[in-house]
Structures are given as structure tokens and as C-alpha cells.
């Protein structure tokens, strides 16, 4: 079977620039790589693309090919005879992120972040406070100074990888010899091994401890909000910076106040006389008692607002209000004199007497059953 034109194989013009040839090759090599493409002819197509690129990417070989094509008996390069894919692993690394691109295990890395959930009383959340908390976290082992080695000894160069942290594993494949880089399983990529481990930390170089941290809780925090305490997370690795601590708040409910954002809500009981005649009552707020004028004729459920008596905004954008809903309390027990006065009040106001009202009500019910029965 005759070979296809190399320019057709790569899908480029005969006057294509070197950059265009390389771009076309990268695309096709990725498409037909046998480790990615499982079609039956993928291997042959990959070989064809590789051969075309080897020829056209070299200026001397390309000049020979342009003059003699596939018939030149003196080419001596890139025939279909299969040759050795000595650069196969480099190709794989180029396109699929081989071992040479793995992150350096000895590079500095930031420590992990920690989260601490704190329960606050209602007033503590509104006004804020400063306090100390204790968190469990890893600290460098003081016995071995974080080395993981027994005092008096030190980590040694890994005998398996020679300190490289990686191993080159060679394999013979149908495409030639392949060299893969893998993390050394003896030192976990650090390039060092500990023969005599520290008894305190077991060679980890870190131990779990409880650390006391002073934090400042801003006024106005609410359930679900959090603050970040920089640098108080887990310590960094290989000299990297420590992580951060996130304190998440859970605010307890109050027996009298409710909160919605920066506003505070409460319900205030008043008597029938206060609602009818009006009065000046004392209302509790988070900052102490204040006077509130209740106008005569106030109905149950009426809302009043005290400006600036709510919770402060946690971002410093002012302060919320306190909303008060009055609820008229009806006495359950009346003396004979109180009953007499209420009947007189009903007569003066033209209100139907309770007995008469009951009779009229039951008469209406009786008529309803009669009409719809």
C-alpha cells in the first residue's frame, strides 16, 4: 500500500510554516494516541502522523521530501518500516501530563483551613465580645523539631530514588521503550527517608495539640455568619504558610426578643383599659427600658417602631430598629363589681348585652340550618 502525502496526513499546505505543522501534529497525536483512542486503526494512524511530523519538522528532511517524495532511496529517515519510538514517553508527557509535570512534593504548601462552631447568647451576638477558644490542631513536634527523626539523628537520602523523589520505570511496548516517572513509594516523593523515627510523633514531624486563640467577635453577628482568623489553621508544609481558622456562629434564641437581620421584634401585652384610654408604658430593649406612648383606642396587633434600637449592622452600616406589637390581654376572672361596670359600659356604648348577643347568635345558627338543611 502506497504512503499518503505527508502534508495530507497532517492536513497542512505545502507552504505551511513550522508552527502550523507542529500545531497540526499536536492535535492529531492527541486524537490518535493509542492510550486514548481505542479504535482498531488508531495505532497505525498515530505512526503515520508521527512519521509525517518527523520528516516535515526537520528542515533538511523536509527539503529532501519536497524534492524526492517517498521514492528517494537515500532518505534514511522515518520509513514505514517501524523504527524505534524512542521519544514516545516525551510525547505522552507533552500531551497528557506525564510524571515530569507532577507537583514537587518538597515545594512549600499552605496548611489546611480549620472550622470552629461557636454558640453565642442572643445579647453576645448583638453587642459582640472578645473571648478565648481552644481548638485541636497539628503543631510541629517539639521533640524532633518537626523532622520526624529520633533526636540525635536526621533524615537520610532515600536509597531507592537517590533523593529525586521519583522513579523512572522503563517498559517495552509495541511503540518502543517507554519511560514513566512515578512518585517514589519509599519516601512518598520527599527524597528522604527516616530510619529512626521520633517516638513522640512516630516520624510524622507533627503532633495534635489544643491551642488557645483569642478572638474578637464583631457586634451584630448572626447564625450562619463567620469570621476568618488568618494564620490560625493547620501549619504549612515544607515552610509554607499556615492555613486560616473560620469561626462559624450559632446564636441562641431569646425568650422575649426575636431577630430578623438587624431588626428586633417583640410582643408587648397591654390591658383593655390602656388600649381604650391610652397610656405611656415601659418597653424593654436590648439597651434598657424606654417609654412608649400608646394612643387611646389602640387595637390589638398594632405595631410601633423604636428607631435605632435594633441590632448593629455587622459591617458597620448603621443599626436596625425595634418593632413592638401590642397585644390586649383579656382578664379571665372578674369580680361582681367589675362585671357590673362592664355591663354599664356596654349599655352606655350601645353594645348588645352578652345574654342578648348569645340569643341572637343561636337564632342565626338555627335559621342557617333551616335554610340549608
Mark the binding-site residues for Zn(2+), compressed into ranges.
Answer: 141, 144, 158, 161, 184, 187, 198, 201
Q: Are 154 and 147 in contact (CB under 8 A)?
A: yes
> Helix crossing, 59-68 with 42-56: angle to 10°?
100
3-state helix, strand, coil in the chain (%, to 5): 30, 30, 45
Q: Are 294 and 326 in contact (CB under 8 A)?
A: yes
Q: Which residues are annotated as a binding site?
A: 141, 144, 158, 161, 184, 187, 198, 201
Calculate the CA dihedral of residues 288, 291, 295, 300 and round it to 10 degrees.
20
Q: Which three cell numbers stand for residue 112?
A: 489546611
DSSP 158-218: -TTTTTSSEEEEEEEETTEEEEEEEE-TTTTTSSEE-SSB-TTTTTSSEEEEEEEEEEEEP
> What three-state secondary structure class fits 284?
strand
**133: which DSSP letter?**
E
Q: Which three cell numbers stand for residue 44?
A: 497505525
Chain centroid to Cα 358, Å, comes to: 64
For residue 251, which of 211, 221, 231, 287 has the smallest C-alpha distance? 221
Element (H, E) at 275: helix 272-277
Amino acid at each position: 500500500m502506497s504512503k499518503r502525502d505527508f502534508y495530507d496526513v497532517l492536513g497542512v499546505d505545502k507552504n505551511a510554516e513550522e508552527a502550523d505543522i507542529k500545531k497540526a501534529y499536536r492535535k492529531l497525536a492527541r486524537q490518535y494516541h493509542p492510550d486514548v483512542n481505542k479504535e482498531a486503526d488508531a495505532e497505525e494512524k498515530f505512526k503515520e502522523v508521527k512519521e509525517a511530523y518527523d520528516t516535515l519538522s526537520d528542515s533538511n528532511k523536509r527539503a529532501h521530501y519536497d524534492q524526492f517524495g517517498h521514492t528517494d532511496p537515500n532518505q534514511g529517515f522515518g520509513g514505514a518500516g517501524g523504527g524505534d519510538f524512542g521519544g514516545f514517553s516525551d510525547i505522552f508527557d507533552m500531551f497528557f501530563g506525564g510524571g515530569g509535570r507532577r507537583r514537587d512534593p518538597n515545594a512549600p504548601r499552605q496548611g489546611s483551613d480549620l472550622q470552629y462552631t461557636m454558640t453565642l447568647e442572643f445579647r453576645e451576638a448583638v453587642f459582640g465580645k472578645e473571648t478565648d477558644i481552644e481548638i485541636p490542631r497539628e503543631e510541629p513536634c517539639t521533640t524532633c523539631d518537626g523532622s520526624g527523626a529520633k533526636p540525635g539523628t536526621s533524615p537520610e537520602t532515600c536509597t531507592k530514588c537517590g533523593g529525586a523523589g521519583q522513579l523512572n520505570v522503563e517498559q517495552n511496548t509495541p511503540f518502543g521503550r517507554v519511560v514513566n516517572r512515578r512518585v517514589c513509594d519509599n519516601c512518598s516523593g520527599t527524597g528522604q527517608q527516616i530510619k529512626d523515627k521520633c517516638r513522640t510523633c512516630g516520624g510524622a514531624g507533627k503532633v495534635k495539640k489544643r491551642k488557645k486563640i483569642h478572638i474578637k467577635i464583631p457586634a451584630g453577628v448572626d447564625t450562619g455568619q463567620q469570621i476568618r482568623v488568618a494564620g490560625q489553621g493547620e501549619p504549612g508544609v515544607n515552610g509554607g504558610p499556615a492555613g486560616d481558622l473560620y469561626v462559624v456562629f450559632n446564636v441562641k434564641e431569646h425568650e422575649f426578643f426575636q431577630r430578623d437581620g438587624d431588626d428586633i421584634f417583640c410582643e408587648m401585652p397591654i390591658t383593655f383599659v390602656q388600649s381604650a384610654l391610652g397610656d405611656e408604658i415601659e418597653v424593654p430593649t436590648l439597651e434598657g427600658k424606654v417609654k412608649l406612648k400608646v394612643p387611646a383606642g389602640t387595637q390589638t396587633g398594632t405595631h410601633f417602631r423604636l428607631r435605632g434600637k435594633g441590632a448593629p449592622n455587622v459591617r458597620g452600616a448603621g443599626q436596625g430598629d425595634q418593632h413592638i406589637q401590642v397585644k390586649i390581654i383579656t382578664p379571665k376572672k372578674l369580680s361582681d363589681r367589675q362585671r357590673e361596670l362592664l355591663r354599664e359600659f356596654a349599655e352606655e356604648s350601645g353594645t348588645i348585652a352578652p345574654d342578648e348577643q348569645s340569643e341572637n347568635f343561636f337564632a342565626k345558627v338555627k335559621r342557617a340550618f333551616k335554610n340549608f338543611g
